[in-house]
Structure 1
Amino acid sequence: MSRLLDPAVLMAIKDLPLAAKTTIDGFMSGLNKSNVKGPGLEFSQYRSYQPGDDLRWLDWKMYARSDRYYIRESETETSISVRFLIDASGSMAHKDGAFSKMDYARYLAASLGWLAALQGDAIGLYAFQNQQLYMLPSRKDPQHMNRFFYQLEQLQPEGHFTTPIAYNNIFTNSQQKELLIFISDLYQPKNEISPLLEALAAFRHEVIVLHLMARNELDMDYAGYTTLQDLETQQTIPISSPQYRQEYQQKLQAWLQTQRKQLLEKNISYRMMTMNEPIDKALNDFLQQRKKSIL
């Protein structure tokens, strides 16, 4: 077991499904339920017989009671590939209290990865940093889980986000739709992240963006400091002026609304997570919301 797996977090999420919201082609039986209706394992509903339907799935008891032909439909249970995409650029070193954004990202990925593996899914890890891309392809076995946790623990934020040339081909060869969970603060001084998300949406994978924000950057609360330094560009800016703080708050809210709107327009799920929120509560709320959305 990894040190990243807080027992309180695991107890909070262990019974909640991490299921793909859209139809996902599974490669073996698991605990994730797809939206595919057909001759599966768990009964879903009846529907009227249509010419061309497989007669093996006629329900003769329903015919005896109603004198009509009904097809018994089920939900096919599938296992999926869940890939975790981690922004490991310098801005993820931003701290609020004892946690950095990278710390929070590690705990999120470790907990959701553990849950996905518990449900029988394959998991993979992709870290974007310094014009490079670290890849741990999706697999499903205990040794792979250990590698997943080890690589998460080794991630240290530095440099810039990876440029598109390094990741353009990594998702094009997949023959099935996948669940891709991108964890980032969405900081992109040179528009490095948007092309990635646009490409993922174009490949018709299901994409979830977990947007990490620190409470001190949301409130512009840096008591005792008069300047801030950009962790990626090294640029410094003054923050002592009350007028500057007000302007910052207005621009920040507009930026957050724009990020959410643009992602939703691409059919990308978006959820902002604030780092002062306990991780078990953040994950519980996130997974409960997803559970309701697929019922």
Structure 2
Amino acid sequence: MVEETVNPLDPAVLARIKGLHLRAQRIVEGYVAGLHRSPFQGFSIEFAEHREYAPGDDLRYVDWKAFAKSDKVYLKRYEEETNLIAYLALDVSQSMAYRSEGAAMSKLEYAQTAAAAIAYLVLHQQDSVAVSTFDASVRRHLRPSSSPSQLNQAITVMQETDAQEKTALGPIFHDLAERYTRRGVVIVLSDLFDDPAPLLAGLKHFHHRRHDVIVLHILDPAELDFPFQQATLFKGLEAAGDILAEPTRLRAAYQEEINAFTRQVEVGCHAQAAEYVQVRTDQPLDVVLTALLAKRSRRLK
């Protein structure tokens, strides 16, 4: 009999762990332990310390101890060259509270968990983290820091706002772009349920300020698969009205609409040099950390 392997990064497993700090620690430790099995083999949470020698580089900065151990030539990279600021922009609007039947976490819980894991990883690398929560306005803003107490402060900020208000992504992104004064990586965690045009204009503002941008598009499986079979009362969020409808008659039109929306956002993100990652709340959290590490690796090349 073959035993079923449980993925420690599965949302259903993580949902049983109480406390964002402990969840974040479990995610990062599980992810790092599994790197040798990952298609991204070779990533390390220490990769920011060196870079490989390239012709023309100053030999004064060669790490000869590393050369003696690995027979490869690496250059030491200094803090001002490698220091990362991760700006976490977390959507806490009402639509983020949605959790379909059978889902382990709401979109907000999943986004909070992902953001906490990113913060834990970045701070573990001795880089800096900032956190902003928003709906129709910026609710909380924690300035960037790499101090040991920053993780607890970041988690407190993430958990202090309930999902109650509407979203206004365009104005919010413009506001945050002005607040994020030092160049860094802006990581947006949102369901992006808003008009794509102002949303994409806001992302362009981040690009104009020379930030790298990762958009984590957080969606519940039911929002993509539309699995409803019987007559269902769909409750409107963010001031939308309730609708009693027959799902089988709506499925094709709904899926065409949601696919067109996500495609428009994805293409628009790429046009603004932003990395788009669609994340379902039933996906293991390693997809989020992989997106972050891949972006950081490209930034250091």
Interval of TM-score (by shorter of Structure 1 and Structure 2): 0.7 to 0.9
Question: In structure 2, what is the equivalent of residue 146 of structure 1?
Answer: 152
1:184 aligns with 2:200: no
Deviation at 1:76, TM superposition (A): 2.2
Cα distance per residue 1:122-174 (max 9 Å; x no partner)? 11110112434421111121222211111222232111124755664543365
Specify the alignment match of 1:282 in structure 2.
Answer: 287
| Contact 2:136-2:172 at 8 Å conserved across structures | no
Give structure 2 stretches of 5+ with no counterpart: 1-17, 36-44, 63-72
Question: Aligned to 1:229, which of 235, 238, 258?
Answer: 235
Stretch moving more, 220-229 or 265-274: 220-229
Q: What secondary structure sits across from 1:142 in the alignment?
A: coil
Cα deviation for residue 193 of structure 1 reads 3.3
Aligned to 2:31: 13
Q: TM-score, normalised by structure 1?
A: 0.74
8 Å Cα contact 1:184-1:212 kept in structure 2: yes
Instruction: Say how many residue pairs are matched.
Output: 257
Identity of aligned residues (%): 20
8 Å CA contact 1:133–1:166 kept in 2: the answer is no
Higher helix share: 2
Partner of 2:118: 112
The residue aligned with 2:41 is none
Gaps of 5+ in 1: 17-29, 34-40, 60-71
2:99 is aligned to 95
| Alignment match, 2:13 | none
CA RMSD of aligned residues (A): 3.3
Aligned-pair distance for 1:109? 0.3
Judged with a 3 Å threshold, the aligned counterparts in structure 2 of structure 1 residues 87 and 166 are, in CA distance, closer, same or farther, namely: closer
- One of 50, 55, 61 as aligned partner of 1:47: 55
The answer on whether the counterparts of 2:123 and 2:129 sit within 8 Å (CA) in structure 1 is yes
CA pair 190-231 structure 1, distance change in 2 beyond 3 A: farther
Q: Establish whether residue 74 from structure 1 lines up as the match of residue 90 from structure 2.
A: no
Query: Deviations 1:54-79 (Å, cap 9, x if unpaired)?
Result: 7x8499xxxxxxxxxxxx98362522
In 1: Cα distance, 2:131 partner to 2:237 partner: 24
Q: Supply the AA of the counterpart residue of 2:211.
A: H
Alignment-derived partner of residue 86 in structure 1: 90
Shift of 1:253: 1.4
**Structure-2 separation of matches of 1:89 and 1:140:** 28
Q: Is the 8 A contact 1:90 1:158 kept in 2?
A: yes
